[in-house]
Every structure is written in C-alpha cells, then in structure tokens.
Structure 1
Amino acid sequence: MSAAVTERRATAPAHSLLSQRRLPRWAPAGIAVAAIVLAVVIGLAAGLTSHVQWGLIALALFVAGTYLVTARVEGRRQARDRVATSAVWACFILAVVPLYSLVQTTISKGVKVLDGYFLGHSMAGVVTTQPGGGVYHAVIGTLEQVALASVMAVPVGLLTAVYLVEYGRGRLAKWVTFFVDVMTGIPSIVAGLFILAFWIIILGFGYSGFAGSLALAILMMPVIVRSTEEMLKLVPNELREASLALGVPKWRTILKVVLPTSVGGILTGVMLAVARIAGETAPVLLLVFGNQLINNDPFNGAQSSLPYYVYEQYANGNDASFDRAWAAALVLIAFVMILNLVARGIARWKAPKTAGR
C-alpha cells in the first residue's frame, strides 16, 4: 500500500503537487512590504504627493498580489479565500486611518493650550485675539445640558422600548414605531427650531441651557428606544416563561429578569445617545445662545457648551482662538471617551453572573 501511494505521488501531475503546497506564514507580510514598495515607486513616478494615495495604491497591490501568489501556489479556491480576508483587513485599515488621523490631529493641536488654567477659567475679560482664557464655563454648560437631556430622555426611551417589546400590539404600537423611525432621521436643526418656536416664541421663555436640553432630549430619545428595543428582543423568551411559570407578575419579570439581562446593551445604547448629543451644535446655537461668563443655572440666562465654544472660537479666525478651539475639541473627545468607559464598567458590573464567572 505504501509503495503504491509513493508511486502515485511520484506520477501525479505537477499542478496537483503545486495545489497541495501552502504559503509560509510570513508570506502576507512579505506581500504587504512588496506592495508598499511598489506603491511608493508608482507614486514617485506618477508625481503623487499624498501619502493617502500611496496607501490606496498599496492596498490595491496587496489584494491583487495576494490573489496572484496564492493562486499560483495553493490554487484559485484558496486564493479567493485569502483575497476575501485581505479585503476585510483593507476595509479595516481604511476605517481606522481616518479615525487615527482625526485623533492624532486633535491631540497634536489641542495640547498646545490644554492645561489646568484652560480647564479652570472662562473667557471673562479675555480678548479673543490674545492667548489666555479657558473652557470651564463651556464644560459646566455641557455637563448640565447633557444631564438634563438624559434625565428627560432616558426614562421615556426605556419605557417606550419596554412597551413596544413586551406589551405593544395593534395599531398604537405600529404608530409609535413609525414615529420613532421618523424621529431617528430628524436633523438636529429641526429639533432646535421646534423648541425655539414652542418654548421661546410661543411660551415666552428666554434662552437657557434647559431650552437646549429640550432639543437634545428629542434627538436622544429615538436612539435610546431603538437600541433598548433591540437589546430586549435578544433576551430569550425561556427566561420570561420560567419567571411567569413561577407566578411572578409580568411587570416584576420585566424589572427583575428582562432588564438586568440586557442592562449591558441598554447602557451602551444610552452612551451612544449621549455621545451624539454631546457634540450637537445647531440646537445650542439657536437656544443656548452662548455666554462668555460662568452660568451655573441652566434654567436662567444664556449658557455656553463645548460644541458652541469650538464653533465660537474657530469663527474668530485668529491663531489664539484656533488653539482654544482645538483644545476644547480634545476636551469634548475625552468627555465622550470617559462616559463610554464608565458605561462599560457599569455594564460589566451589572451584567448577570454566569457559571464561569
């Protein structure tokens, strides 16, 4: 038997032996290096000065080279598999590069004036063309406005999602779903105009941080409803049925079983909603109105916020204001990142314990 197998292998066609080979582990890295070198050569020869163009050429050469080399050594079937994997990595790189560029640019430009003085002082008495001043009043405004919007939007969004998943039947549930879908696509400027017409023009209230938080709450609610609804749908029905079989009321089943099981995803959705409204500028421009001084009362008088501060400083059009705008943008990014880290920690703490944990 062994001799027959050896003889059959010896007389096998060359392409059969070739298709049984495998590329070494370093082959993808080698193809990538070759693609980068060729991309640089092509870019220099064509007079391309943008490194982004060089990178796109390198990605295309990497995918094409992966297919050609793999098809030659391992066969077309394996080549298609490797090309699919290479395309996934290429798309991942294309998605990460802009994010890295954004963060790197913001950090490099924002750290110029970001210090304790900048975080602890307002723009009171500061000439916009001169260095100095800070972002303290804008940080206070953002914290208060986002907190008020969350207090209004989170309970309404959670209860709406619970109704749609656990109780929603018939025409009312369809209409609620329809309006949630419509609100998801509402531009922020429309929400700001609505609150401007209703709260300030019709009811006669003045510009304030609370007026801005009303518009932010409108933008926040559909995101919470949609994310919470999807998380509640992922809870197995067996858990509900087991609780109901023990005689537990449905409201208590939702409170003690369904919500704790999906708390991680719910918090993630809430943080996504907070991240969206934290950077909104249009409602703030219309309703909060901006303020150079510190105003700790969101219900009385104009306030500032981080997005408004960035817009305001960048619109001044001088180097000192540009530095303050980049520093405020960096503070805003750090604010959203801290919120996400806190949410992940709470979600991990509140997540149901399994046997392996």
Structure 2
Amino acid sequence: MDATTPMAAMHAAPVSRVRSSRRVADRVLRVSCFAATLIGAVVLGSILLMLIIEGLRGITPTLLTQPTPGPGSEGGGIANAVLGSLVLTFIGIVVATPVGVMAGTFLAEYGRGSKLAELVRFLNDILLSAPSILIGLFVYTLMVRPMGTYSGWAGGVALAIIATPVIVRTTEDMLRLVPGSMREAGAALGAPASTVIRQVTWRAASAGIVTGIILALARIAGETAPLLFTALNNNSWFSPNLMGGIANLPVMIYQFALSPYPNWQQLAWAGALLITATILALSVVARFVLSPKRH
C-alpha cells in the first residue's frame, strides 16, 4: 500500500496555483473586452449601414454630371463639389509632400540628436494634434483677409498644413527603419550623404513614405472645418483662377445635411457615401503598399 501511494500521487491531477480570485478577474476582463468590442462593432456597423442605405437612395444618373441645385430645387447633383474637392486635395498634397518628405529626411538623417531636430519634432507633434479649425482660422488670417475673398488657394494651403505633419512623422519613422549598414555600404563606395539618401535610404523606405502620403491624402479628403474659413462653398462651377467660394464635398455635406430641403439632404447622404468610399479605398491601398510583397 505504501509502495503504490507515491505512484498514485504522481498520477493525481496537478493542483492549480492560481488563486480563484485571479481566475475570476481574468474572466471578468475577458468578458469586458468582448463586450466593448461588440459594442464598438455594433455602433460602427450601424453607422455604416445607415450611410449605405441613405447614400444609395441619393445615387441618381445626374449625381456626378450636374452641379448642386439651388434652395428648394429638385434634381441636380454634386459634380462641382466633387471636382472642387479633387482640386483642393490635389493642391494640399502637392504642397505638403515635398515639405513633409524633406523635413522627415532631415530629422532621420541629418538632425539625429541635435537641438534643432528636437525642436522641429516637438513642433510637428503639436501640429499633428492641433484642431483643424484652428488651422483654418490661421489661414483665414494669413490669406483670406488680406486677399479679401475666399479662394481655393487658401483651402489648399490649409489642407497642406494638416497633411504635412503626417508625412513628416511617417517619413522619419520609415527612414529610421532602414539598417545603418546600408548607409555605411554607400559611404564605403565613396558616395556623398545626399547620394546615399537618394539612391539607398529613400528607395529602401519608398513603400512606407508612399503609405504616409496616401494616409495624409485620406486625412485631408474629409476635412470640413478648415474649408469653412478658406474655400467656403459654391452652388455653381468655380472660377479657373480658384478665387471666390469653391464647392467641395465636406462643406456641401455639412450645409446640405442641416438644410430643411429633402433634395439637399439626399445629396448630402450621397456625398457622404462617396467620400467615405474614397477614404476607405485610400486606406486599403495604403495597407497593400505597406504590406511586404509575398513571392
């Protein structure tokens, strides 16, 4: 009997050293995390479902061929707002891309550990988190008031200021991921620092830099507050010189959604669906650009 007792003890189920209170806490945390995830998914899914249902009702053959109608008018479309948004976004990203890439390159390659780089990085972080309406007020004071009128140029500058810190942060992070051995190899061949940056580090980090540009493009595509103070809106086609109010989707959605006219409200839903689909497409493209290629 005594000989079999150790063997029986060896085959006995191990006793858990985890206290019951810890197991209860673990289960409570799991349930809480699952419930929070479920609530978030339900809320976001409801918003997206409502947007799709209401937005599809506003899809008409004239949606992308005619300008926005006047108050109380029937029919019409959002062609002028779509074109205005494309122009403003193009101006913003064209201005922000070289500034953001060059600034990010300075922080990652030339200014490591310097006081100036720390100051630029600090200011970039502030600008990254600054309210967009504050940027709109800044550009309004800087450009709209001296020019005496709203303009697409002011709207493009406001969007560029919003997009620049995103590109700066992404460019710096991607360049820092490039191994130092690649820079050393270029320097060992006698190439100057500028050539190493252009031919080695930029090429190695090109996918990440392009991703940052696309994300910045998606960020500014739906901005409304800065355009209220810079480009405003217009129910007709804008002037080729971009002076005066410029029709754009974000402000059009804001104004039409608050209007008492059912036709304007339907156009607002259709515009919201269009801009959401565009931002989603840009985000998907950015994800595929950033993901490593599988061979």
Range of TM-score over shorter length: 0.7 to 0.9
Opposite residue 223 of structure 1, the aligned amino acid is V
Where does the alignment leave 5 or more consecutive residues of structure 1 unmatched? 21-70
Opposite residue 44 of structure 2, the aligned amino acid is L
- Tell me the secondary structure at the aligned position of residue 62 of structure 2: helix
Instruction: Give the conservation status (yes or no) of the 8 Å contact 2:70–2:235.
Output: no
> Which among 220, 223, 235 is matched to residue 277 of structure 1?
220
Going from structure 1 to structure 2, the CA distance change for 1:244 and 1:292 (only over 3 Å counts) comes to: same
Opposite residue 117 of structure 1, the aligned amino acid is T
> Which among 66, 89, 114 is matched to residue 146 of structure 1?
89
Deviates more, 1:305-314 or 1:89-98: 89-98
Going from structure 1 to structure 2, the CA distance change for 1:212 and 1:298 (only over 3 Å counts) comes to: farther
Quote the residue 1:179 is aligned against. 123
CA distance in 1, matches of 2:225, 2:186: 47
State the TM-score, normalized to the length of structure 1. 0.72
Instruction: Give the conservation status (yes or no) of the 8 Å contact 1:140–1:296.
Output: no
2:132 is aligned with 1:188: yes
Structure 1 position 130, deviation (Å): 4.4
Instruction: Give the conservation status (yes or no) of the 8 Å contact 2:215–2:282.
Output: no
Going from structure 1 to structure 2, the CA distance change for 1:235 and 1:83 (only over 3 Å counts) comes to: farther
Going from structure 1 to structure 2, the CA distance change for 1:201 and 1:90 (only over 3 Å counts) comes to: same
Structure 1 position 80, deviation (Å): 6.0
2:157 is aligned with 1:201: no
2:194 is aligned with 1:251: yes
CA distance in 1, matches of 2:141, 2:252: 24
State the TM-score, normalized to the length of structure 2. 0.86
- Tell me the secondary structure at the aligned position of residue 316 of structure 1: coil
Opposite residue 234 of structure 2, the aligned amino acid is N
Opposite residue 163 of structure 2, the aligned amino acid is M
Structure 1 position 111, deviation (Å): 0.8
CA distance in 2, matches of 1:86, 1:261: 43
CA distance in 2, matches of 1:130, 1:174: 55
Opposite residue 314 of structure 1, the aligned amino acid is A
CA distance in 2, matches of 1:80, 1:261: 46
> Which among 86, 109, 120 is matched to residue 54 of structure 2?
109
Going from structure 1 to structure 2, the CA distance change for 1:262 and 1:282 (only over 3 Å counts) comes to: same
Instruction: Give the conservation status (yes or no) of the 8 Å contact 1:289–1:302.
Output: yes
Structure 1 position 78, deviation (Å): 6.6
Deviates more, 1:109-118 or 1:296-305: 296-305
Quote the residue 2:235 is aligned against. 292
Instruction: Give the conservation status (yes or no) of the 8 Å contact 1:209–1:287.
Output: yes
Going from structure 1 to structure 2, the CA distance change for 1:332 and 1:296 (only over 3 Å counts) comes to: farther
- Tell me the secondary structure at the aligned position of residue 234 of structure 2: coil
CA distance in 1, matches of 2:190, 2:168: 29
Structure 1 position 172, deviation (Å): 2.1
Quote the residue 1:235 is aligned against. 178
CA distance in 1, matches of 2:119, 2:193: 24
Quote the residue 1:8 is aligned against. 9
CA distance in 1, matches of 2:26, 2:207: 35
Structure with greater Cα Rg: 1
CA distance in 2, matches of 1:146, 1:96: 30
